[in-house]
Amino acid sequence: MEIDELKNIWKENKPGKSLPEKGMYESVMDVLKKAEKKVLLRYFLMSVFMLITFYFLGNVILGNNTFNDLSYAGFYLLFTAMIAVFFIVWSTAIIFRKNNISNPSIDFLKSVKKKFERRKMVRKIVIPVYLGAIITGITLVYIEVLADLDILIRLLIHFGVIVFVLIISYFVSKREKKRYEKTYKPIEDRIDELLKDYENN
């Protein structure tokens, strides 16, 4: 029997798809795993910050029953936005199992590719919507909280907070884009190469 026929039979009967370029695969996985440790740390810090914010806002709401409907709507919008972003962001985390590193897998590479695509969607769509919800929530709350102040002071405080949020978001977004170009774009390109090589085999 021809060697090519044997190879075809082996491919058809193997239990799962795998990649022949094990050395390159392991190299990509090592770099990705190191990068993901930093991602998980950032996600953890984000979660801690959100819990602290939840605790603070919860105490404010429970300790004051005189808020009007607009303020409650603002608080609930803030809660909803944070909860949604929490779950969406964590859904992009890449979880490694032992065999993912040592055993080349086309399915795992495709799942990593999907995670990368989801992160791009988070940066381009989810985060802008999240910021819009946060700013709207703050606006609804500030209408009552700052009601006793002079209109000029109210506007200065309100726009000051919004500008601060936007500036922080801009620099965070810029840093994330730079991190992607420096760390994740090369990884994504190498994954594309592995997937292309697999499809050609």
The token pair at 69 is: 């409907």
Residue 172 binned pLDDT confidence (cut-offs 50, 70, 90): confident
Q: What's the longest Cα–Cα distance across the chain?
A: 91
pLDDT of amino acid 2: 42
Sign of CA dihedral 164, 165, 169, 170: negative
Which amino acid, 189?
D
pLDDT tens track for 16-69:
444 545 677 778 888 888 889 999 999 999 999 999 988 888 887 767 767 788
Residue-level pLDDT at 130: 93
As a whole number of angstroms, the distance between CA 161 and CA 149 comes to 16
Chain segment 187-197, per-residue pLDDT in tens: 888 888 888 87
Query: Would you place residue 4 in the very low, low, confident or very high pLDDT band (cuts 50, 70, 90)?
Result: very low
pLDDT in tens, 136-166: 998 888 888 888 888 888 889 888 888 988 8
Quick one: what percent of the chain has pLDDT higher than 90? 25
DSSP the chain: --HHHHHHHHHHHSSS---S-HHHHHHHHHHHHHHHHHHHHHHHHHHHHHHHHHHHHHHHHHT-----HHHHHHHHHHHHHHHHHHHHHHTT-----HHHHHS--HHHHHHHHHHHHHHHHIIIIIHHHHHHHHHHHHHHHHHHHTTTS-HHHHHHHHHHHHHHHHHHHHHHHHHHHHHIIIIIHHHHHHHHHHHHHHHH-
